[in-house]
Amino acid sequence: MGPRFQDRTDAGKYLGSLVPGHAGDASVVVLALPRGGVPVGYEVARALGAPLDVFLVRKLGVPGYEELAMGAIASGGVRVLNPEVVRRLSIPEQTIDAVEREELAELERREQLYRGGRPPISVENRKVILVDDGLATGASMRAAVQALHQMKPASIIIAVPVGSRETCEELRSLADEVVCGECPEPFFAVGTWYSNFQQTTDEEVRELLDRAAVRPARAVTLSHGC
């Protein structure tokens, strides 16, 4: 089986066709996980006539074992901890705080870079469509959903153009809805399903957010998916 999508723009147009029921709903906001989720989210927001913003998540890695997450921080000053890891490794609060300060500085730098001074869109009591370019393990998406719950949205819809069937099913317990366009088996990696999976740059993210802030959208009405 060859690539399903030409690039993230193509994938975003496809994904936008899977959520037509949300078109024109003023309570909907599309949040994209940078950087690869932003070109996808841009097309979804454009299809629905919804505002677009980024939702940044930074892993809090255990010092010396950075790949092991003891928690995560996200846009809006949210912190989520993994109590099992913290307890098992007896990680003191001051260590967590130190790692959080470091990651928070990077998160704030990126938010400023991407938004160019625009304030984040409020998600309280709104329907949030959380978008990425695909789901493999789902670690970043899982952290994003857990953080987003603390910001009291009306509902959370996870939407990706392609993903592991197992991961998509697992995430259904965390969100109100999961839209996973394609669930190929065997899955391999997200990039396998794109002809062009070059890394999205910071400049591209900012440009798309700038365009989304000023350009009107159109709606589509096609629906399918797994």
pLDDT beyond 90 at 7: yes
Over residues 27-52, the mean pLDDT reads 96
Domains of the chain, first to last: 8-56+124-214 (3.40.50.2020), 58-115 (3.30.1310)
pLDDT at 61 (0 to 100):
92
Cα(24)–Cα(186) distance, rounded to whole angstroms? 36
pLDDT at 3 (0 to 100):
76
pLDDT beyond 50 at 220: no
Q: What is the pTM of this model?
A: 0.88
pLDDT beyond 60 at 224: no
CB 133 within 8 A of CB 40: yes
The distance of Cα 148 from the centroid of its chain, to the nearest Å, equals 10
pLDDT at 116 (0 to 100):
85
- Walk across the sheet containing 65-74 and list its strands: 57-62, 65-74, 78-81
Residues 95-127 have pLDDT tens digits of: 999 999 999 999 999 999 998 888 899 999 999
**188's tokens:** 């391999």
pLDDT beyond 60 at 219: no
Q: How many CA atoms lie within 13 A of 166 on its CB side?
A: 7
**In sequence order, what are the residues at sequence separation of 6 or more whose Cβ sits closer than 8 angstroms to the Cβ of residue 140?**
33, 57, 59, 132
pLDDT beyond 50 at 222: no
Cα(113)–Cα(105) distance, rounded to whole angstroms? 12
Q: What's the mean per-residue pLDDT of the chain? A: 91
Tell me the three state secondary structure of residue 69: strand
Cα(131)–Cα(136) distance, rounded to whole angstroms? 14
Over residues 76-90, the mean pLDDT reads 90
pLDDT at 226 (0 to 100):
62
pLDDT beyond 60 at 143: yes
pLDDT beyond 70 at 165: yes
Q: Which of 28-32, 73-77, 103-107, 186-190 has the highest mean pLDDT?
A: 28-32
Confidence category of residue 64, pLDDT binned at 50, 70, 90: very high
